[in-house]
Amino acid sequence: MVDTIHLNGGSILGSSRGGSDVGDIVDSIETMDLDFLFVIGGNGSHAGALAIDLMCRARNMKTAIVGIPKTIDNDILLLDRTFGFQTAVDEAIKAIRCGAIEARSAKNGIGLVRLMGRQSGFIATHAALASGEVDCCLIPEINTPLAGKGGVLSHIRRVLNKKEHAVIVVAEGAGQDILGTAGPRGFPKSGGAAFYRRRW
């Protein structure tokens, strides 16, 4: 059964996107007489783990609920680094370098790289710094004005005048103050600054 498990990684476990009833989960834990439940994931998974733990305690069950911080976003409080984050950064660096090559191939070329991370700019920030190619990095934690003297567009124009190409990295949730709308399951729908259109 486990002969080729090393080739499949975490996908052997399967995944879900919420929507399960906590009572049903705790009923199953009780039926199976589990001593431990390991919950692997990010913020949502750990919120679910807490709800399961609270209900187990309310029922005087002795099951230990253990949270495993695995999310590429690296956005779980009190942790410096989560499983999966470094892999995401390594892959993001490759995308940035490809964008930089494209940007340099034409006069005033702009490489625009949008990176995942939902409401967290950790992947974008770490990859931008590590690549050595990025002229502007927009993250959701900081509302950066696009227009005006100190805005992103003015900065990019200065970069183009100097280097004749530019690389911009936009984290998934950046620009929500401008374009964000409510999405499914309470998460903001990521429009973000990558979808901003302006004539140069």
User: What separation, in Å, do the N-terminal and C-terminal C-alpha atoms of the chain show?
Assistant: 59
Residues ≥6 apart with Cβ < 8 Å to 37: 29, 49, 52, 63, 64, 65, 66
Q: Which of 73, 90, 135, 177 is catalytic?
A: 73
Identify whether 21 is a catalytic site residue: no
Coil/strand/helix, residue 69: strand
How many angstroms separate the CA atoms of 32 and 58, rounded?
Answer: 18
How many angstroms separate the CA atoms of 33 and 28, rounded?
Answer: 8
Write out the catalytic residue numbers. 73
